[in-house]
Amino acid sequence: MIWQPYLHLLSRRPRAIKYSNLYNQFPPIWTDYFKNCTEEEQKAAFRLLGRLLKNNDFELLNQALNLASAHGHPSADHIKHCFYTYGRIDSNLKVGRHYKTGLN
């Protein structure tokens, strides 16, 4: 699915997602996250998803949200940080580079 046009619109009017079929197409971890967000947090999260889904799929984003949620309700910036941290670790492990991450 091409998410960018929908995410761009939702970043402007995030409460509209509840009235669309798109809501059911998000992974469950994201629907749970959105239920606990303020309107401003939803806007930031939809903007973040719009940027990150251009070159990625939900798999890495789900892992980043799961990691960011380990200590409570995360902000979009915290999710973004976890996304890039987890993505860097994941890509280094795939090519055989091992280093201490502090995430264990």
* 53-68 pLDDT, tens digit each: 888 888 999 999 999 9
pLDDT of residue 45: 93
DSSP the chain: ---HHHHHHHHHSGGGGGGSGGGGGS-HHHHHHHHT--HHHHHHHHHHHHHHTTT--HHHHHHHHHHHGGGSS--HHHHHHHHHHHHHHHHHHHTT-----S--
pLDDT at position 71 over 90: no
Assess whether pLDDT exceeds 80 at residue 3: no
Q: How do the domains of the chain map onto residue ranges?
A: 4-94
Predicted structure pTM score: 0.76
